[in-house]
Amino acid sequence: MKKPWSITTTLRNPERIRNFLIVLKALEGQEWNEENQIKYQILLIKDRFYGLTNQFYNGLSKKHIELLSGPDPISYNEAREIFYSKNYEDPAMRGRQSMNPIKKVGLARIDSGKIKITSLGEYLLKEDYDLGEMFLRSFLKWQLPNPASDDFKSEDGFCIKPFIATLHFIRVVNEKWQALDKKPKGISKEEFALFVPTLIDYKEIDNQAQKVIDLRLLCEGKKQEEQKKIAEKYKVNFVKEFLQTSNKSSIDQIVKNLKDYGDNTIRYFRLTRYFFIRGEGFYIDLEPRRHIEINSILKTDNAKPSKFETENEYLNYISDINQPILPWETVAELKQIVSIIIKDIESYLSYLHQKNLSAPEFQCKDINSLTKEELKTYIDDLRVYRRGLKDIEIRDESQYLNRIRDYIEQLKHIYKSSAKKSIELERLTALALNALNDALSIKPNYPVGDDDEPTFTAPANKPDIECFYEKFNAVCEVTMLKDRQQWINEGQPVMRHIRDFENTNSDKETYCLFVAPQIHRDTVNTFWNAIKYEYEGSKQKIIPMTITQFVILLETLLALKKKGLQFKHIELLRLYEQIIEISRKATRSDEWIEKIPEAITSWNNTLLAV
């Protein structure tokens, strides 16, 4: 059956894939038989990587639900009991289903009947893994159809490498638009959702690109409301033609699904750093800072799928981190990439010097004396240095009144944001912390593209944001979760991140600012125990705030700046200590959390009374 392609059928949340892979690693080398397929699923339940949904809870006893949702570790026997209480018709199938996304991405495979973690999987298990690099290696090889999946068949018209075809598609749209004497702008999110998932044959790239142009020309010169009507009518007719059906329910379902497919694809493709967002978040374009790499791909690969005789042959290929050989990794092209990044760095340095802002010393290497591997390392180092310069620029811009007003408004209306909410909250919180005080350094740990915009949330093994001040250090953890899942996802990890950060940065007292739309009572109780008693042998200093309460801090900063006064980090420390002091005097966790707004109001009034 003809249908759009979608990443969601083969790739899930990257962090969830990694957790599934961590559990699978414990079984590596063992037979992938029914016994171990069942064991794998039980281990996922034991480690709470599976089963924490209302759908899974259906049919479970109260005892089992409390085990899954409670704070205590689950034993293997308890997890086994939970698993078998579901009365699955084919219990082993559950383990096979959990293995499928790992296998399809190329992170693990079955070799001679035994579980084997691939080189790509081993890379993802490293502490310093790079999601962008991993997905790039996988997406460059991902094709439809392929012998490892029956989801997208050649008889249904599939003949494409989706990632590479999308690169070609955006380039062709830009060229066609420019040929009409118009400025290229990539494609809008709406255009992406309609035309990218429905591009299922590489030979149709040019025709599909022309349809984007045709739709734009239909809308050109029309009022916004009329443009919307034209686009909606076009979308329905386009899907009708694509599906080759007049069945209204089928058409409506695909129209509904395409937005989700498009949003999800953008999110994952952005991880590779080969796409960037422009036009205030509404357009997706090819990353200009990677044009050498992109042009090399487009010259050497037309997005036609390769031929594989067997499933193993395809899985061996997609799971090998050393394949494909990247076409731009020649000494000549690597030198060009170095030259482009250095020009970018020089531009940043010139801007910073004009603003009388100091920057770390930069010294160029003689690239003619460097080997290919040394050039690749040098490029990585240059990109890290460039990000550091961008951070200095961001820090400076965050001090302006109009920027602070923007952060306040965006945080207040984060639910209306077109960006992924969890990533947007991390970005805005990092910007706000830069604005809020005279920190030595505010270091967000989310990965960024070459445009310095976050491509995903911070990895699971690190705090979301690390903050360094003259008098103290801090980590900041944020989440958009509000229900009990907040405690499950954030409770233990936050306390672990604090302790790991303290062990690495033991020269000063460490605090943790935790920001969420609202603080769930289970999260409060977990933090209360760490504050009041201990976590791994010693107390922690955690300051939970709602987004609304955090905004009050920014509004206080704005009011001070209007008076010509500077906000000092010592004032933030005073607030943190007031909130910790409440916990020392309170006898119950709910009493502590209820008094935090009073502490913020008192702190705000004291500062503004100056």
Q: Give me the residue spans of the domains in the chain.
A: 7-123, 160-304, 331-389, 419-608
| Assessment of whether the complete model's pTM goes beyond 0.85 | no
Residue 369: per-residue pLDDT: 92
- pLDDT tens track for 378-403: 999 999 899 889 888 888 888 889 99
Residue 416: per-residue pLDDT: 75
Strands 510-516 and 473-478: parallel
* SS3 letters across 476-500: EEECCCCCCHHHHHHHHHHHHHHHH
Residue 441: per-residue pLDDT: 87
Residues of the chain with pLDDT under 50: 9-11
CA distances from 53 to 50, 173, 260, 379 (A): 8, 42, 21, 43
CB atoms within 10 A of CB 305: 19
CA distances from 11 to 7, 65, 261, 550 (A): 6, 28, 12, 35
User: What is the Cα–Cα distance from 579 to 596, expressed in whole angstroms?
Assistant: 6
Classified by CATH at the fold level, domain 419-608 comes out as Restriction Endonuclease (3.40.91)
Under DSSP, the state recorded for 159 is B
Q: Convert 571-608 to b/e letters by CB count within 10 Å (16 or more is b).
A: bbbebbbbbbebbeebeebeebbebbeebbeebbeebe
